[in-house]
Each structure stands twice: as structure tokens, then as C-alpha cells.
């Protein structure tokens, strides 16, 4: 079996950190190669803060050699959201500064959009197994949209699979009444990506992450998992402090790190995905429903091929096991099996 090559595109919040941690664990077990991490602004926090937060996690793992690239600082048409849940710094505004982390000196000078294209092309043309790069996008889709806009189909042909945390499929919003945060942060970017992608797309929308469908008790997160993880993993200690400020002090009863759920679905699709479907999806760009993901319920197949593999339900108990595995607290009696190529909605 060929190795899987992964690029993580994110916006530097605490759930982005958990997503990165899962990928670092999978890489440590030689299941994939993390080619690099790219960050964007206009989402959970500023571009600088997003990079700083990712560097903080990489440092805690002793993995500062993982390439990190700065991308777009705001949405294609300018910033449209004011993030609040993750705090101004994306990490809850509770950590003491780490003076050893100097973003400008530690990130690569190459722009994230150019880096994504270059890394994908490098694997496509110079590795034994072409078209093996999976992009996991867990923030606004600005960087990915710019890749399609700048490089066109020469970029599109390089991608094996695109995973996206964002959008909503039942009209339930978490940023506005009608839209999910990542898609609303840059609706034009989301529209471009869904329109121009030719590879399989898997989307984890907002609704499967809601408490009535995915519930992990906040008490388990901090009093069981968090305490044990902090004893063996420095990143857990960081995220315990961050998420205590974000979740527990604000009265939340459940832990739902949406971005990490998407990575778990990428790594363990057979074990964690409980319900899925295939749709033609696009994004509304106007009025009250701006940023809402729109599904073709009329199934006009001839005009609109199904372009999205949609995750509708996840196994919360299995994710708890995966989180413990990522922290080194347990083994998983399953092999890591990323979603296969036949998860192509264009059928």
C-alpha cells in the first residue's frame, strides 16, 4: 500500500490543535507523511496567532521541523466574522507567552498557496505513487480556493482527496442563523472549492457535531481524559488550560472538537462514520442565507453530479478511544484505514 501524504490547512484554534495531534500520532506510527501545515487568518484568530498556536503544539511534540506556511490573512472579499469562542488569540487568551516562539523566524518564507501547489506537484511527479496527497481543510477555505484560482486544473489534478470541516446540510447555523462558521468566514472561497474540485470531497458539516448527535461529557474531557493525558503529553497540558477557559467556564456540557472529528473520520472511517450520504453541494452567497451549504434535493443528476461525500453521524465513543490513542494512553485494536478512493461522489 502506498503511503498517504497529507497537508493540513487550518486557522489555529484548539480543535485545530487536536486535529494536528491526531495526524502527528498517525505519522509517528508510520501511517502517513505530514507534508506541511498551512494557516489562514480570518477564522478563529489572526494569521500570526494561528501560526503561533500551531508552533506551540509542534514545539510540545519536538516537531518544529514540520514545515509551516502562512497563507491568506483574510477572506477573499475581506473579513466577515468576529470570532469569540476561541478568544482573540485562538487559544482562549489564557496562556503565558512563549518567548522562544518567534513566528517570523520559524515559518517558511514561501506563501502557503504556492507551497500547497508545490508540495502536491512534488508528490505527483516525483514519488512512485502519483496523486497521493490528501488536503485536510479545517478553517475557512481561502487558501484552497486561491490554489484553484491561481493554478486551475493543473492543481486540481494533483489532489487525491479533499476533506473539509465546514458547512451545514440542514440549515442549522452556529455563526449566523443559517450558516456554519468556516463557510460563513469565506463563502466565496467555499463556493469556488466546491465548484472547481475534481477530486473526491468529504465534508463533515456542523450538524453531526451538535450535542444531540455527538456527545462527550465535559466532565470526562477534563477529569478523566485531561488529567491522564497531561501526565504523559505536554500538549495535553496546554490544551487543558485553553479548553477549560473555552468550555468549562462558559457552562458547556459537552466537548466537540469538530476539526479533530474530521481527522478521525479520515483516519478511521470504517470505525467512526455511522451515517453518510452523497450529494451535489454548493454555497449560497447572498442575503440571510449567505454561507449556507445548499444540497440538491431534487437530484438533478444530469445537470449536477454528486460532488460531496457527506458525513451525517459519528461514533462519539470511538472518538474517545481515538483521543486516548493520540495522547499515548491506549492502543487501538484497529488499523488506520483512511477513506478510500471509492468515496467519490461523482457517481
Cα dist from 342 to 274, 302, 338, 345, whole Å: 17, 20, 11, 8
pLDDT for 132: 85
- Chain center to CA of 252: 22
Percent composition of the chain: helix, strand, coil (DSSP 3-state, to 5): 40, 15, 45
| Residue 123 near residue 130 (C-beta atoms within 8 A) | yes
What range defines the domain where residue 21 resides? 4-213+257-313
User: How many domains does one find in the chain?
Assistant: 1
Q: Is residue 302 part of a domain?
A: yes
Instruction: State how far the alpha carbon of 328 is from the alpha carbons of 56, 162, 242, 317, 323, in Å.
Output: 19, 28, 20, 17, 9
If you write DSSP's letter for every residue of 319-337 in order, what string do you get? HHHHHHHHTTS---SS--B
pLDDT digits (tens, 9 = 90+) for 4-28: 899 999 999 999 999 999 999 999 9
Give pLDDT < 50 ranges for the chain: 1-2, 339, 341-347
Query: Is there a domain that residue 197 lies in?
Result: yes
- pLDDT for 52 equals 98
> What is the average pLDDT score of the chain?
92
- The verdict on residue 232 lying in a domain is no
Does 177 fall in a domain? yes
In a domain, 202, yes or no: yes
Distance CA 62, CA 168 (A): 36
Give residue 341's pLDDT: 46
Q: Read off the CATH number of the domain in which 109 is found.
A: 3.90.245.10
273 strand-pairing partners: 314
Q: Is residue 178 part of a domain?
A: yes
In-domain check, residue 243: no
Q: Tell me what pLDDT residue 275 has.
A: 99
Question: Using one digit for the tens of pLDDT, what is the confidence trace for 199-250?
Answer: 999 999 999 999 999 999 999 999 999 999 999 999 999 999 999 998 877 7
70 assigned to some structural domain: yes
Task: Identify the pLDDT of residue 54.
Answer: 98
Amino acid at each position: 500500500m502506498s503511503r498517504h501524504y497529507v497537508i493540513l490547512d487550518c486557522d489555529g484554534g484548539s480543535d485545530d490543535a487536536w486535529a494536528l495531534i491526531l495526524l502527528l500520532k498517525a505519522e509517528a506510527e508510520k501511517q502517513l507523511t505530514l507534508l506541511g501545515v498551512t494557516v489562514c487568518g480570518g477564522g478563529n484568530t489572526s494569521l500570526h496567532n494561528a501560526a503561533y498556536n500551531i508552533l506551540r503544539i509542534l514545539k510540545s511534540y519536538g516537531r518544529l521541523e514540520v514545515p509551516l506556511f502562512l497563507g491568506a490573512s483574510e477572506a477573499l472579499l475581506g473579513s466577515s466574522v468576529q470570532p469569540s469562542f476561541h478568544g482573540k488569540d485562538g487559544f482562549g487568551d489564557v496562556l503565558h507567552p512563549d518567548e522562544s516562539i518567534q513566528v517570523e523566524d520559524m515559518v517558511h518564507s514561501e506563501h502557503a498557496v504556492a507551497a500547497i501547489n508545490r508540495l502536491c506537484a512534488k508528490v505527483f511527479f516525483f514519488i512512485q505513487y502519483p496523486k497521493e496527497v490528501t488536503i485536510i481543510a479545517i478553517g475557512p477555505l481561502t487558501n484552497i480556493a486561491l490554489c484553484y484560482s491561481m493554478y486551475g486544473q493543473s492543481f486540481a489534478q494533483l489532489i487525491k482527496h479533499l476533506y473539509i470541516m465546514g458547512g451545514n446540510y440542514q440549515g442549522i447555523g452556529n455563526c449566523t442563523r443559517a450558516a456554519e462558521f468556516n463557510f460563513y468566514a469565506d463563502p466565496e472561497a467555499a463556493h469556488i472549492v466546491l465548484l472547481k474540485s475534481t477530486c473526491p470531497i468529504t465534508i463533515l458539516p456542523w450538524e453531526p457535531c451538535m450535542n444531540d448527535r455527538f456527545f462527550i461529557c465535559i466532565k470526562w474531557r477534563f477529569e478523566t481524559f485531561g488529567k491522564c493525558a497531561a501526565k504523559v503529553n505536554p500538549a495535553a497540558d496546554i490544551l487543558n488550560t485553553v479548553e477549560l477557559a473555552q468550555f468549562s467556564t462558559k457552562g458547556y456540557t459537552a466537548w466537540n472538537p469538530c476539526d479533530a472529528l474530521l481527522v478521525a473520520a479520515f483516519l478511521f472511517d470504517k470505525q467512526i462514520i455511522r451515517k453518510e450520504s452523497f450529494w451535489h453541494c454548493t454555497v449560497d452567497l447572498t442575503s440571510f442565507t449567505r454561507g449556507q451549504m445548499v444540497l440538491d434535493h431534487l437530484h438533478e443528476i444530469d445537470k449536477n453530479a454528486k460532488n460531496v461525500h457527506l458525513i451525517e453521524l459519528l461514533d462519539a465513543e470511538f472518538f474517545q478511544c481515538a483521543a486516548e490513542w493520540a495522547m499515548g494512553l491506549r492502543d487501538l485494536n484497529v488499523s488506520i484505514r483512511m477513506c478510500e478512493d471509492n468515496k467519490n461522489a461523482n457517481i
